[in-house]
Structure 1
Amino acid sequence: MIEVAASLAEAELLSLWENGSWLDTAGRALVLAEAGGGAEPGTAAELPIGERDAILLSLHESWFGRRLRCAVTCPSCQGRLETEVSTVDLRVPVGTGGPVSADGVELDVRPVSTADLLAARDRRALLLRCVRSARKGERAISPAELPEEVLEAVAAALPELDPQADVSLGMSCASCAHEWGAPFDIAGYLWAVLDTHARRLLYEIHELATAYGWTEREVLSVGPARRRFYLEAART
């Protein structure tokens, strides 16, 4: 069982869980990125996805440690594989963007941000938001004029421009020997860990409140070791 670090108080954990429970995946990632001294309030949406995810890796280290236990399904035989990785292994360079050339067009491209994902109505709109400037020879081109083949080159370049936003785990199935790269999403993983801890804590609060008539604040004022004793006593 993963223990919550002292740097994340139980009341703070429940507050984070409550604030993010009604949000979608992108919204939860922002709530987490701005928690615990990560990104400045109101700024996380504008960060490149890789920079946001680097913050989330640091938060996992601070709150739950460096070890991450993962389970994936083999796409070949559908077998279940379990592995453990370290946040150190998941860290790659955070991108800031750079030049992309395609069909005689020179582009300055920036990484995707959460704000882009929330605002773009479709894939083309998302890619256009990432083009800071475009030139063909001496002529500046409006991003809206770019043909699909040029935008496809932008899409192909994005993982290299922001590697931390496109992390995968090298997997090998012991049953069928299939090897593949399993995408890893630290935002989804961190939320899942937080959600598990929050729900377990809420059940403990419910059980102790039922047994002893304590309020939530009174339950949280009792340390974890004493709380486990009271839970065991209430169950006997």
Structure 2
Amino acid sequence: MMFTEASLLDVWEAAHGLGALRRALALAVAGGAEPAEVGDLAVGRRDEFLLALRERCFGTAFPCLVSCPSCGEELELELSSRDLRPSQVDACAVVAVDGYEVEFRAVTSRDLLEVHSRRTLLERCVVTARLGDQEVERSELPDAVLGALPDALAAGDPQADVRIDLDCAVCGHRWASPFDIAVYLWTELEACARRLLYDVHALALAYGWSEAEVLAVSPGRRRRYLELAGTMA
């Protein structure tokens, strides 16, 4: 079920003015996440709710414009939701390094909000750690062991770090381009909300209509009313 324009404005208003991380959480809630639980979801799981919200607001096609990092050529492409859903997150996984066996969990938004150093973040994701038969405190793990976690975390939660394989038609350069659903969705929401607010403002001045009355008019007819009112650029 697609969002109405009024609902889209409500979502935009709820997330407007928030920092990037808290805004992503607000958008995930609008996409169906439980408010009390969203902060403790793996980042990839949170982003699944952002994808769901984007599909309801704007559909399943994702037009993109990307610059080749080698020659600077701008490339137009269209992704689908399927391209942006790698695989399911593993709740916990295990990595073995230098005799240590470390069980870890995916990074959550709460981790990112509350932790401000790389090592502390990695330690926080450790569930248990052992060296042979001996349990080891996470704070006592060597840097080399913790250093193996970022790659394991990315592999365990691929939805949190989506990368699209691209090649340039001009110079042939190949690379993996990151795709951030939170940034992409907010850019679309911001542009759409500003356009809707302009329509409401212009037609309220021209005809005295309320916001609800403006949004009740179809976009096509609204464009025509704006033309007749002489407000179209």
2:217 counterpart (213, 216, 222): 222
Shift of 1:171: 1.0
Q: What is the distance in 2 between the residues matched to 1:9 and 1:100? A: 46
Q: What is the distance in 2 between the residues matched to 1:94 and 1:116? A: 20
Q: What is the distance in 1 between the residues matched to 2:121 and 2:72? A: 33
Shift of 1:221: 3.1
1:76 counterpart (41, 54, 70): 70
Shift of 1:223: 3.3
1:7 counterpart (2, 5, 14): 2
What is the TM-score with the length of structure 1 in the denominator? 0.92
Secondary structure in structure 1 of the residue aligned to 2:148: helix
What is the TM-score with the length of structure 2 in the denominator? 0.93
Does residue 189 of structure 1 match 2:184?
yes
Shift of 1:34: 0.5
User: Identity across aligned pairs (percent)?
Assistant: 50
Deviations 1:163-212 (A, max 9, x none): 11121111111222110000011111111111111111011111112212
Does residue 53 of structure 1 match 2:47?
yes
Secondary structure in structure 2 of the residue aligned to 1:76: coil
Does residue 86 of structure 1 match 2:80?
yes
Deviations 1:135-177 (A, max 9, x none): 1111111111111111110112111111111211111112221
Structure 1 gap ranges (5+)? 1-5
Shift of 1:21: 1.6
Q: What is the distance in 2 between the residues matched to 1:219 and 1:74? A: 42
User: Which residues in structure 2 correspond to 1:189-208 (within 5 Å)?
Assistant: 189-208=184-203
Q: Is the 8 A contact 2:42 2:106 kept in 1?
A: yes
Structure 2 gap ranges (5+)? none
Q: Is the 8 A contact 2:8 2:57 kept in 1?
A: no
Correspondence for 2:34: 40
Shift of 1:31: 0.8
Shift of 1:214: 2.3
Correspondence for 1:24: 19
Amino acid at match of 1:128: E
User: Which residues in structure 2 correspond to 1:98-177 (within 5 Å)?
Assistant: 98-177=93-172
Secondary structure in structure 1 of the residue aligned to 2:35: coil
Shift of 1:232: 2.0
Q: What is the distance in 2 between the residues matched to 1:160 and 1:184? A: 16
Shift of 1:213: 2.4
Q: What is the distance in 2 between the residues matched to 1:173 and 1:231? A: 41
Q: What is the distance in 2 between the residues matched to 1:150 and 1:213? A: 66
Note the aligned Cα RMSD (angstroms).
1.5
Q: What is the distance in 2 between the residues matched to 1:64 and 1:156? A: 33
Amino acid at match of 1:41: P
Between Structure 1 and Structure 2, how many residues are aligned? 230
Deviations 1:106-135 (A, max 9, x none): 111111111111111111111111111111
Deviations 1:208-228 (A, max 9, x none): 122122232332233334322
